[in-house]
Chains A and B, each alone.
Chain A
Amino acid sequence: MNLLRTYILPRILQWALVIFVGISATFLIPRLSPRNPVDEMIGRMTAFASIDPHAVVSMRESATALFGLDGTLLEQYGRFWGRLLQGDLGVSFGNFPRKVSDIIAAGLPWSVGLLTTTIIISWTIGVFLGALAGYFHDRRWSQFLERFVVVVYPVPYLITALVLFIIFGAWLQIFPIMGGSRGEPALTWKYISTVLYFGFLPALSVIIGAIAFRFIMAKALTTTEIANDYVQYAELAAVPKRKIILFYVARNTMLPQVTDLALAFGAIFEGALITEILFAYPGLGFVLYNAIYNADYNIIMGIALLSIVGVATAMLIIDLLYPVLDPRVRLR
C-alpha cells in the first residue's frame, strides 16, 4: 500500500503530466506555421481547374470547420482534447478525406516490423559483444573490435544509410532502393521474401549504428562492473567464467541496458525517419515526413501522439519494473 502511494502513484502522475505537456506542445507548434493547410488544399484543387470564387469561399469555410481550424486557438485546443478523448484523430488534410487513423494504420506495420527486428538484433548483438569485449578487454580480438566500433560509432546515421544506399543500391544494385515490398500482400513466402529483400538495406543502416552504440555502452558498463569486489571475489574463488560473465557481470549491467531497450521500443512510433525517407520505405517516418511538408496537422498530431504516449509509457513501465529488475530497489 505504501509502495503504491510513494512509488507507483507519483510515477503514474508524472506519466500523465508528461503526455499532457508533450501533446500540448505538439498541438501548438504546427499552428504557429505561416502555412495554412486549408489554403494548401484549395490550392491543390484549383491548380488544374478554374473554380467559381464564391464556391472557393464557401469551400474554405467548410474545410476550416472540418479541419477544426475555426475559432480561437483556445477553442481549437478544447475541441481537440474533446475529440482526442473520444479516440478521434480527425481526417488528413493532404489525403482528404482519408482518416488519420487509417493512414497511420497503413504505415504502422512497416515501421513496427522494421524497428522491432532491428532493435532486437542490434541490442542483442551489441550487449553480447560489448560484454565480452569488456570482460576480455586485454585480448587482441576485443581491441580490434573496439577500434572498428570507434570508427563506426560517431558517423551520423544519415551518412551510414547514404553510403549503403550508394554502394549496394545505386552502384552494385544488389538491393532495391525504393518501397517496402513487391506484389500483392499475402502470407506467402514469395511475398514475405520480398519484404525481407526490400527491408534489408533500411534495416542494416539502422543496425550498424545501433550495434556500435550498444557495444560501447555495454563495454563501458562491463569495464566498471568487473572492477567490483564481488566480481573479483568470484574470480578469486575460481567460479567458472561463464557464470561470472552471466550472473555477476552481465546481470548487473542489465538495468540501464533494459531501460534503453524499453525506450527504443517506446520510440518505435517516431519511425526510422531518415531511413524511411532515404529508402522511400512506407512506414510511419515516411508518412510523417510527407505530412510535415503538406502541413498536414492531423497526421503530425496523430503520430506525435503515438510517439509521446509510446515513450512515456515505456518510461513508466521501466520505473515500475525497476523493483523487479533490481532487488535493491525493493526495500526503498
Chain B
Amino acid sequence: MGAIIETNNLRAYYITKAYGVERTVKAVDDITLRIQEGEVYGIAGESGCGKSTLLRILLGAYQPPLTVVGGEVIYHLDGEEMNAADMTEEQQRDLKWRTISYIPQGSMHVLNPVRRIRDTFHDFISAHRDVTKKESFQLTAEYLRDLGLPEKVMASYPHQLSGGMRQRVTIALATILWPKLIFADEPTTALDVVVQRGVIQMLKDVQQKEGSTLVLITHDIGVHANLADRIGILYAGKLVEESDTGTILENPRHPYTRFLIESLPSLDSREERLAIPGRPPALDRPPSGCRFHERCPLAKEICKTVEPQLIEIEPKHFTACHVVEEELNRVAV
C-alpha cells in the first residue's frame, strides 16, 4: 500500500500583526511526512510543539494568521494525487467527512449545546449525503449500535452525557460516513483513565472495521503505545525522530525522545521518573542550530550552530541529532 497523505518540506507560520507588533511563530518548520494507507500514525510531543498546527494544515482547516509559507501537502485519494494547495474550496468540502474526517479533543464544546445529538448527526450526514431526517436517524442508530453505544443518547442533549460518552459520540459523529483518513487530536486528553481505555478501544474498532488510516495526535506516549503503528516525534515545529512504535519505545535515539519515553511511569519499576529539564522554546524566536540544544544534556558546540538533518540511522528509523550522527559515523569508520 502506498502513502495516503504526504508532506514535503512543509512550513507553516502564524503571522500576526496587531497594534504595530508583528510576530512570526514558526509552528511547523520543514516537515516531511509519508503516512501509509491503513496505518495508525502517531504524532507526539509536548504542548506547544506544533502538533495541532500540523494537524490543521493536514486537514486543510486553517486560516490566517496561520499561513503555509513553503512546501506542500499531497493527498492520494481514490487513485488520484491531489495537491492541497491546488484544490478548490468545493473539492475540499467534498472530501470532508466522506473521505477525510476529524475527531477533536474530548471537550464540552464540540457538540452544539442546544441541539439534540440526533439532529447534530443529521446536520453532519445531510451535508454530504442526500438523506431525509428519518434515514439519517436510522443510519445513526445503526452505527451507534455497532459501536456499542446506547441508542438513547440520540435524543439527549450534550450536557446530559458524561465526558466519556460525549467523546464517544464525537468519534461516532466524525466517522459516521466511514472516512478513509481520520485525524484525531488528543482524543483521550481530559478523560479519566478508565474512560480513556474505552475510547481507545473504540478508536481501534473504528479504524480496523474499514482499515482506515488514523493520524493520532497526543502528548500521551501511552496512548501511542496502544494504538500507533508508527510514531513521529515533534519538537519545536520540527520532526526529530520517526520510526515504528516498537523501535521508538524500545530504542529511542534522539535525546528528546529518550526523555519522553523515560518520563513514562511503568509498573515494574519504582525509580523516580526523569522530567525533561527546562521548557519548550518560544517558536517566534526558535533557538539556533538544533532547537533542543538548550535542554539537551549531550549538546555539543556544533548543536548550537548547525541544524541537524533527519537521517535514516537504521532501516525506517529516522532521527535528527548530531550526536547520534557522529556515533553512527564512528561505528561506520
| Chain A residues within CB distance 8 Å of chain B | 228-230, 233-234, 236-240, 243, 247-248, 251-252, 326-328, 331
Which single member of B109, B110, B112, B127 contacts A247 (CB below 8 Å)?
B112
- For the complex, is B159 an interface residue (Cβ under 8 Å from A)? yes
CA distance A21 to B114 in the complex (A): 37
- For the complex, is B203 an interface residue (Cβ under 8 Å from A)? no
Q: Which residues of A contact B128 (CB under 8 A)?
A: 238
Sampled A-B contacts (13; CB under 8 Å): A228-B109, A229-B104, A230-B112, A234-B124, A237-B97, A238-B96, A238-B97, A238-B127, A239-B123, A240-B127, A247-B115, A247-B119, A331-B160
Q: Which residues of A contact B112 (CB under 8 A)?
A: 230, 234, 247-248, 251-252
Distance (whole angstroms) from the CB of A329 to the closest CB of chain B: 10
Q: What interface size band does chain B fall in? A: 20 to 34
Contact A236 B96 (CB under 8 A): yes
CB contact under 8 A between A236 and B102, given known A229-B110, A328-B113, A331-B159: yes
Distance (whole angstroms) from the CB of B142 to the closest CB of chain A: 20
Q: Which residues of A contact B159 (CB under 8 A)?
A: 327-328, 331
Q: Which residues of B contact A230 (CB under 8 A)?
A: 109-113
Q: Which residues of A contact B59 (CB under 8 A)?
A: 236
Further 17 A-B residue pairs, CB within 8 A, beyond A230-B113, A234-B112, A239-B127: A229-B104, A229-B107, A230-B110, A230-B111, A230-B112, A233-B110, A234-B123, A236-B102, A237-B96, A238-B127, A247-B112, A247-B119, A248-B115, A252-B114, A327-B157, A328-B159, A331-B160
CA distance A245 to B79 in the complex (A): 36
CA distance A327 to B113 in the complex (A): 8
Q: Which residues of B contact A233 (CB under 8 A)?
A: 102, 104, 110
Distance (whole angstroms) from the CB of A257 to the closest CB of chain B: 14
Q: Which residues of A contact B97 (CB under 8 A)?
A: 237-238
Q: Which residues of B contact A326 (CB under 8 A)?
A: 114
Q: Which residues of A contact B104 (CB under 8 A)?
A: 229, 233
Contact A238 B123 (CB under 8 A): no
Closest B residue by C-beta to A249: B112
Contact B113 A252 (CB under 8 A): yes
Q: Which residues of A contact B157 (CB under 8 A)?
A: 327-328
User: Which of B111, B119, B159 is the most central at the interface, judged by chain A CB atoms within 10 Å of its CB?
Assistant: B159
Q: Which of B73-123 contact A (CB under 8 A)?
A: 93, 96-97, 102, 104, 107, 109-115, 119, 123
- For the complex, is B275 an interface residue (Cβ under 8 Å from A)? no
Contact A243 B96 (CB under 8 A): no
CA distance A69 to B85 in the complex (A): 84
- For the complex, is B193 an interface residue (Cβ under 8 Å from A)? no
Q: Which residues of A contact B127 (CB under 8 A)?
A: 237-240, 243
- For the complex, is B61 an interface residue (Cβ under 8 Å from A)? yes
Contact B109 A229 (CB under 8 A): yes
Distance (whole angstroms) from the CB of B172 to the closest CB of chain A: 13
Distance (whole angstroms) from the CB of B66 to the closest CB of chain A: 13
CA distance A240 to B129 in the complex (A): 12
CA distance A331 to B124 in the complex (A): 27
Distance (whole angstroms) from the CB of B97 to the closest CB of chain A: 5
